[in-house]
Structure 1
């Protein structure tokens, strides 16, 4: 196994375990066992748990944000497409909320700097993506961010698509998109 394959296997195991069980509950030995990568090699690639957690979050951010961006690009109602995408995500059997909210909630404001930077960058990228959908209204982008984050939190506590549907209805009223009130 070369370095790239070892890194990928480590990140795959880290993502599965951290997302399902939490960062603090999963030790490096469990990552080693889940990945099949020897502990010595794990520490050569990721010298500290903070480096592994940061890399896991950065990779998840690229995939998550890329998937969302793909869903809204060219959509006839891009704001609605955000909530359609969330609805599909919330319906996945392994949905456990936002990995970034979870990491921040678990580690707090005093957590490792690299991890907190990854969380903040992710949220800034999400806000920037939403701002692209409503370029004439920074305040609306901020309100959409609150709707997205709120829907994610509610779906974490009550899994299923309904929080995305309710948030979409609010977003449509906010932006004037969608059907007129009945």
Structure 2
């Protein structure tokens, strides 16, 4: 399988895992949904977990790139970008294919913090916190790390609730909560 076929497999596996979960999607089903034989899958990935890690790395890259571009397109000024996080999330929540966060799902299915899948999920959240911290610093926040952590907590809670309840209302409520937290951090 060529590198482009491998990339295509990872992209299709990402979609399957995102929609169906990691433990629920067995290799037979994965082969059916990706159109790639199990033999071909195992030529590039020794285990299903290696394939899961590849999908998480791809999702991390795609999601963070999308989020950062959207934040900057919505609000060019750093102080406004902290709120724009939640405007971008609102857009994501209202996409028809929204199924919560792949990293929340992965860490709940692989709960041992030492497991590479759990660790990769935690790293995704750490990278988001680092980005939020930099934005908070540029916005002149009093305690940028603290503000970034609070915004991340609001963001993560909003993702879970948007999946469970009315996504539009959750997005509005999360934005309001973020506005309050930001207003006391200056």
TM-score w.r.t. length of structure 2: 0.87
What residue number does 1:180 align with?
Answer: none
Partner Cα distance (1:166, 1:50) in 2: 36
Q: Deviations over 1:38-93 (max 9, x none)?
A: 32221011110110001101100000011111122361410111001100000011
Q: Deviations over 1:15-60 (max 9, x none)?
A: 1211111100111222222222232221011110110001101100
Q: Deviations over 1:103-154 (max 9, x none)?
A: 11122226x7221121011010111111112114211111111110111111
What residue number does 1:53 align with?
Answer: 52
The correspondence of residues 114-133 of structure 1 with structure 2, limited to 5 A, is: 114-133=116-135
Partner Cα distance (2:166, 2:39) in 1: 39
The correspondence of residues 34-73 of structure 1 with structure 2, limited to 5 A, is: 34-73=33-72
1:95 and 2:98 equivalent?
A: yes
1:6 and 2:13 equivalent?
A: no
1:11 Cα deviation from its structure 2 partner: 1.3
Partner Cα distance (2:167, 2:175) in 1: 14
1:169 Cα deviation from its structure 2 partner: 1.0
1:83 and 2:90 equivalent?
A: no
Contact 1:88 1:161 in 2 (8 A): no
Root-mean-square deviation (Å):
1.8
Contact 1:127 1:142 in 2 (8 A): yes
Please state whether the residue corresponding to 2:100 is helix, strand or coil: coil
Across the two proteins, how many residue pairs are aligned to each other?
175
Contact 1:10 1:32 in 2 (8 A): no
Q: Which runs of 4+ in 1 moved over 4 A?
A: none
1:157 Cα deviation from its structure 2 partner: 0.6
For structure 1, which runs of at least 5 residues remain unmatched after alignment?
178-182
